[in-house]
Amino acid sequence: MTVTLSLQDLSIRTIVPLLLPYLPYALVFVIVTSYAKTWYRLRQFHGPWFASISYLWVAAVAVSGRMNFKYTEINRKYGKLQLLYSYWSSNFIRSPLARIGPNTLITDDPDIVRHMSSARSPYTRSGWYEGVRVDPYEDNVMSTMDVAAHDKIRAKMAGGYAGKENPDLEAEIDEQIASFISLIHRRYLSKGATLRPMDFGQKAQYFTLDVITKIAYGKEFGFVANDEDVHEYIKTTEETVPFLAFLTMVPWANSFFNKSWVRELVGPSPKDKHGVGKLMGVAKEVVGERFGSDKKEKLDMLGAFVRNGLSQRRIESEVLFQIIAGSDTTATGLRATILYLITAPRVMEKLRAEIDAAEAAGIISNPIQNAEAKGLPFLQACIKEGLRIHPPFTGLVMKKVPPSGDTIKGQYVPGNTSIGHNTWSIQRNEVYGEDPEIYRPERWIDADSETVVQMERTLELVFGYGRWGCLGKSIAYMELNKFFVELIRRFDIELVDPTNPWKCTNFNLFFMDHMLLRIAEREPKQSPKK
């Protein structure tokens, strides 16, 4: 018997049983087609296969604590060390780009970074920047996406960071260095068999936190004086920053957590007793003193922001971000450079000899002034080499290719592709010579003038480039210029356990602790025997 169905007989009830056996095949077809389309868009760029179709690979890297090493491995394996065939030129070329996501490339080529970040570049910020909104309800200068709005805010903040409106900036840094030296004498000075180890990883950040709060708000928060994590700042950042690193790399996660109803449900509040909310409350209190009928006017960074027309709410967000950007990165510069100095006795001996000679000749003060430190060539070489071999910030700060696309060193990159900076790998570029993995400050002195210029241009990428460059660069250098001289002229410094120098993880920023040092009064200089 033959059964026929008319259109009137068709309904959901009759159609579903007929189609149900084909549903798994349809689902597989949709998934495969979607993944194939995702892979196809950037098919000419090589990288881990799973990364080309899913953000799970890059999410795993973001929370690994080894971002800097993993991305460098990718660039070396799939980027400039792999020969790719260029069909339109019929030549083999070296690719400076590797693929780490469905719509994400990474580069360790300094020329490409400068190309994307120059003042007149058509590239814009990618969604990566939205993930660094520490205050989830208000943008900061780092998370502002609109180029014109960013430039306007940056212009209003530049004077405060440059120290033009804070005539006591250098003296205030000297004050915090003196406080740090006092802490060593009070609690961490070893002598003979008496060991009083200092966790320099932790204390270096206490110092940089007091510096930024002093020069920014007119009063240090007292991390060094109290020898404790005031407001649980370090604890909070170590809990928060890995999550922010995850959001910067996974667009759908960032989009979800930025939805207003999600923020209202799980977001922090200035009334919280712990976490980011507590820090928001501290920022609100500090900034609130500069507004209202009882407002305080000071010649400091915060005062400059107010005078240049930033709103109270915007300044609160900048304060929260500023504490992270202004302390963690400089602290890493101090920690890493000290580690390389004390594990390279030859270098430490040369640096100390330069400081001693300058002191004997009366060309440096006590405390040393920034201008005097700039005149010590080996000191400058040691600082540059420290920043080069261990860049303090390794976030990918991804830029977005203009909608029309771009041809980069012979390879066409589709519009709206995100391209990240591999800062760690960039600072191991061949411009530095054949031994870029070695801490060798002499490379900055022995190289010819043309090579030094290229090295300088490459090193400056540690602080960003062009309109996206770090506002606090000059302050960071001033801290580094002073800190090393004042410690090295006074103390002998050693690692307590050379086999385990520190605990170090990387989530865009570095977390460093258990860096135990033995610090003793410096042995008197011996007169040469006759």
Task: Give pLDDT tens digits for 134-170.
Answer: 888 999 999 999 999 999 999 999 888 887 778 889 9
Range among 5-9, 62-66, 93-97 with highest mean pLDDT value? 62-66
pLDDT score of 519 more than 90: yes
Domain count, the chain: 1
For residue 233, give every residue at least 6 positions away whose Cβ sits within 8 Å of its Cβ, in sequence order, or none: 209, 221, 223, 279, 323
pLDDT score of 527 more than 60: no
Identify whether 10 is part of a domain: no
Over the chain, what is the mean pLDDT?
89
Structure tokens at 3: 């059964």
Q: Stretch 205-213: mean pLDDT, rounded?
A: 95
pLDDT of the residue at 81 = 44
Q: For residue 496, which phi and psi values (nearest 5 degrees)?
A: -70, -40
Higher per-residue pLDDT: 20 or 262 = 262
Identify whether 530 is part of a domain: no
Identify whether 5 is part of a domain: no
Identify whether 173 is part of a domain: yes
> pLDDT band at residue 188, thresholds of 50, 70 and 90?
very high
pLDDT of the residue at 90 = 47
The domain of 218 spans 35-521
Separation of alpha carbons 485 and 443, rounded Å: 21
Identify whether 1 is part of a domain: no
Identify whether 226 is part of a domain: yes
Helix (H) or strand (E) holding 265: helix 260-266
Range among 58-67, 90-99, 163-172 with highest mean pLDDT value? 58-67
Q: What is the CATH number of the domain that holds 52?
A: 1.10.630.10
Other residues' Cβ atoms within 10 Å of the Cβ of residue 342: 20
pLDDT of the residue at 296 = 79
pLDDT of the residue at 293 = 78
Q: Which of 326, 245, 328 is nearest to 68 (CA)?
A: 245
Identify whether 292 is part of a domain: yes
pLDDT score of 207 more than 80: yes
pLDDT of the residue at 507 = 93
pLDDT of the residue at 335 = 98
Separation of alpha carbons 157 and 178, rounded Å: 28
Identify whether 23 is part of a domain: no
Q: What is the DSSP letter of 523?
A: P
**86-100, 168-182, 385-399, 439-453: least confidently modelled range:** 86-100
Separation of alpha carbons 471 and 155, rounded Å: 10
> pLDDT band at residue 86, thresholds of 50, 70 and 90?
very low
Q: Stretch 177-189: mean pLDDT, rounded?
A: 98
Q: What is the pLDDT of residues 311-356, one digit of tens each?
A: 999 999 998 888 877 789 999 999 999 999 999 999 999 999 999 9
